[in-house]
């Protein structure tokens, strides 16, 4: 890596950041500068391939970077011209362009020779006093983003840098933004755009999104400098808000791109509401908030938007397109606090109501307990009086029961003696009967017949009772007292 080139790039970045009043990383982060110093790109194609350098950044800083890289990172502005080592024409023009790009211009003049060609807008700025002419050009995308319709004879302010076009050696002014001048001109442009957007329904009430009842995460867009952000934060209640902040310029036409980029940043963030705020100002200072592209971004944002933009007379179009507009940043904070404060008040009221109800319940229960206690005392007195009477009756009943139980015991003993006698006689009868049955069973038992020399013939597990159930060659089984025989029918003789 070329360390000298890296130092030169960082020095250039510091100058740019100071002039634009932005953080260093918003120009280029360190990693991008290191990649540039490492690869040393020589043209646009090589430069935009580096991470962190896109078309927009190239349009703004690309030529500065290429000029620094091509000249080895040496401070070309202060490099002395040596007679023995003269510049080439191209090299000297690079020196001049590098110097010109370090000085941003804000120029007032009258539009002349207006022409749109391909991706560029070409025009001249004419001084109204001595009719001096400055040739200007502007990217068509930047022009459209400004939301201004230029016509010849219109007085404007342009912001940008000068550069010399090397093929013809002519100096021209590269404009980045265009602003209208004069309250009347601004008012006409404001009314014309307002009428157009109103007709398209961008301000329609039925398109407004309702704020969440209890906002927790806030996306905040405003300038990090000045009193506005402090007024907003100081007036936010201590309700546990999570604030995600995007720094943005809020003054003049140059703020449009910052504001749109900040809104795009929040488009995929998890927020409950987006708050855009700035202090009061004239129609001229609030031009950014009357920009068509910005107004459409706000109207189409997927999360409710609160605009707290101070103004003299005319409400900024950005406020009209928002879901909720308030006149000051402080009012925006008050709106966000409202539901939480109402909730706190409701909770406090509920606490008081609950305490009062609890106290009333305690009082009523105490009264009920007193009545119940007195009633119980009265009933227990009656019960105790009755107890003696009942106790006497119970004792008498126990004595009577004892006598009756003694009589029943005697009766039971007599009955038991009779019962046992009858049982013995029954058992004797049953035994004799069973002995008789056993003798008959033994006599009729087929197995006993086997003991006497008889046999049992079976065919297919069935006892053969007749010769008619068999035929010749049937295989039969013959059971004897000490085993079985298998046989085959050879002859059948019927009676």
pLDDT tens readout for residues 330-381? 888 888 888 887 777 778 888 888 888 998 999 999 999 999 989 888 888 8
Mean pLDDT of 404-410: 85
Q: What is the pLDDT of residue 79?
A: 45
The answer to whether 173 and 136 have CB atoms below 8 angstroms apart is yes
- Mean pLDDT, all residues of the chain: 86
The token pair at 36 is 């540039």
Fold observed for domain 106-181: OB fold (Dihydrolipoamide Acetyltransferase, E2P) (2.40.50)
Place 81 in a pLDDT band, splitting at 50, 70 and 90.
Answer: very low
* Residue 75, CB-side half-sphere exposure with 13 Å CA sphere: 9
Q: From 234, 236, 218, 214, select the one nearest 340 (Cα to Cα).
A: 214
Mean pLDDT of 467-476: 88
DSSP assignment string, 215-230: --EEEEEE-SSSSHHH
Q: What is the pLDDT of residue 218?
A: 94
Q: Is the pLDDT of residue 19 over 60?
A: yes
Q: What is the pLDDT of residue 406?
A: 85
Place 312 in a pLDDT band, splitting at 50, 70 and 90.
Answer: low
Contacts of 15 (CB under 8 A, 6+ apart): 102
User: How do strand 462-463 and strand 217-222 relate by DSSP bridges?
Assistant: unpaired
Q: Is the pLDDT of residue 85 over 80?
A: no
Q: Is the pLDDT of residue 80 over 50?
A: no
Q: What is the pLDDT of residue 243?
A: 92
> Is 0.95 surpassed by the pTM of this model?
no
Place 1 in a pLDDT band, splitting at 50, 70 and 90.
Answer: low
Place 86 in a pLDDT band, splitting at 50, 70 and 90.
Answer: confident
The token pair at 289 is 């908030």
Fold observed for domain 187-338: Rossmann fold (3.40.50)
The answer to whether 276 and 319 have CB atoms below 8 angstroms apart is no
Q: Is the pLDDT of residue 486 over 70?
A: yes
- Delimiting residues of CATH 2.40.50.140 domain(s) in the chain: 106-181
Identify the weakest region by mean pLDDT among 1-10, 192-201, 288-297, 466-475.
1-10
Q: What is the pLDDT of residue 275?
A: 95
Q: Is the pLDDT of residue 78 over 70?
A: no
Main-chain dihedrals φ then ψ at residue 62, nearest 5 degrees: -55, -45
The token pair at 316 is 């900024």
* Residue 374, CB-side half-sphere exposure with 13 Å CA sphere: 5
CA distance 332 to 421: 111
CA distance 31 to 13: 13
Q: What is the pLDDT of residue 217?
A: 94
Mean pLDDT of 301-313: 86
CA distance 235 to 326: 14
CA distance 244 to 240: 13
CA distance 97 to 91: 10
Q: Is the pLDDT of residue 221 over 90?
A: yes
- Delimiting residues of CATH 3.40.50.2300 domain(s) in the chain: 187-338
Q: What is the pLDDT of residue 76?
A: 43
| Bigger pLDDT: 185 vs 116 | 116
The token pair at 255 is 């703020």
Place 55 in a pLDDT band, splitting at 50, 70 and 90.
Answer: confident
Mean pLDDT of 69-91: 61
Q: Is the pLDDT of residue 15 over 90?
A: no
- What is residue 327's three-state secondary structure? coil
DSSP label at residue 82: B
- Delimiting residues of CATH 1.10.150.80 domain(s) in the chain: 3-96
Place 72 in a pLDDT band, splitting at 50, 70 and 90.
Answer: low
- What is residue 158's three-state secondary structure? strand
Fold observed for domain 3-96: DNA polymerase; domain 1 (1.10.150)
Contacts of 375 (CB under 8 A, 6+ apart): none
């Amino acid at each position: 890596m070329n360390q000298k080139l890296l130092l030169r790039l960082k020095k250039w970045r510091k100058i740019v950041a100071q002039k634009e009043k932005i953080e260093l990383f918003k120009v280029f982060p360190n990693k991008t500068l290191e990649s540039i110093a490492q690869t040393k790109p020589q043209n646009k194609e090589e430069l935009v391939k580096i991470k962190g350098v896109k078309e927009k950044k190239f349009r703004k800083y690309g030529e500065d970077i290429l000029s620094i890289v091509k000249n080895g990172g040496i401070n070309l502005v202060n490099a002395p011209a040596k007679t023995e080592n003269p510049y080439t024409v191209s090299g000297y023009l690079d020196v001049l362009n590098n110097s010109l790009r370090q000085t941003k211009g804000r120029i007032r003049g009258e539009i002349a020779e207006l022409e749109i060609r391909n991706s560029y807008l070409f025009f001249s700025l004419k001084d109204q006093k001595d009719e001096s002419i400055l040739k200007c050009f502007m990217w068509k995308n930047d022009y459209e983003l400004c939301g201004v319709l230029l016509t010849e004879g219109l007085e404007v302010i342009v912001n940008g840098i000068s550069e010399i076009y090397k093929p013809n050696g002519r100096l021209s002014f590269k404009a980045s933004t265009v602003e209208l001048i004069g309250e009347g001109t601004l008012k006409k442009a404001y009314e014309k755009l307002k009428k157009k957007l109103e007709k398209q329904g961008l301000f329609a009430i039925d398109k407004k999104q309702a704020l969440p009842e209890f906002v927790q995460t806030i996306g905040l867009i405003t300038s990090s400098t000045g009193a506005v952000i402090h007024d907003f934060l100081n007036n936010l209640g201590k309700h546990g808000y999570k604030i995600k902040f995007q720094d943005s310029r809020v003054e003049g036409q140059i703020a449009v791109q910052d504001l749109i980029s900040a809104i795009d940043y929040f488009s995929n963030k998890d927020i409950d509401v987006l708050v855009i705020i700035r202090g009061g100002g004239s129609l001229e200072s609030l031009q950014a908030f009357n920009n068509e592209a910005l107004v459409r971004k706000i109207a189409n944002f997927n999360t409710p938007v609160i605009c707290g933009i101070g103004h003299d007379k005319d409400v900024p179009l950005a406020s009209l397109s928002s879901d909720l507009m308030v006149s000051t940043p402080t009012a925006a904070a008050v709106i966000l606090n409202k539901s939480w404060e109402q909730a706190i008040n409701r909770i406090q009221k509920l606490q008081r109501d609950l305490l009062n109800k609890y106290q009333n319940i305690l009082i009523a229960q105490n009264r009920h307990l007193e009545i119940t206690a007195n009633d119980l005392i009265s009933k227990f007195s009656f019960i105790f009086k009755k107890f003696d009477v009942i106790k006497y009756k119970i004792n008498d009943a126990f004595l009577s029961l004892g006598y009756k139980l003694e009589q029943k015991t005697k009766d039971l003993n007599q009955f038991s003696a009779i019962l046992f006698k009858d049982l013995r006689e029954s058992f004797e009868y049953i035994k004799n009967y069973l002995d008789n049955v056993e003798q008959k069973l033994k006599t009729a038992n087929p197995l006993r017949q086997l003991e006497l020399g008889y046999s049992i013939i079976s065919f297919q597990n069935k006892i053969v009772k007749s010769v008619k159930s068999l035929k010749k060659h049937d295989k039969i089984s013959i059971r004897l007292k000490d085993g079985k025989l298998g046989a085959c029918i050879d002859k059948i003789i019927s009676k």
